[in-house]
Amino acid sequence: MTIELFLADRFTPAESEAERRVLANTDDPRETDLTGVRVVELQFPKFTDGRAFSQAFLLRRRLGFTGEIRATGDVLIDQVLQMQRSGFTQAVLAAGQDLAHARRLLAHYPGFYQGDAVHTAPQTAASAAAA
- pLDDT digit string, tens, across residues 77-120: 999 988 888 889 999 999 999 999 999 888 876 555 454 556 55
Measuring CA to CA, which residue among 122, 116, 121, 95 is closest to residue 3?
Answer: 116
Q: What are phi and psi of 21, to 5 degrees?
A: -120, 120
Residue 125 has pLDDT above 60, yes or no: no
Give the pLDDT confidence of 61-84 residue by residue, as tens digits: 889 999 999 999 999 999 998 888
pLDDT at 129: 54
pLDDT at 47: 87
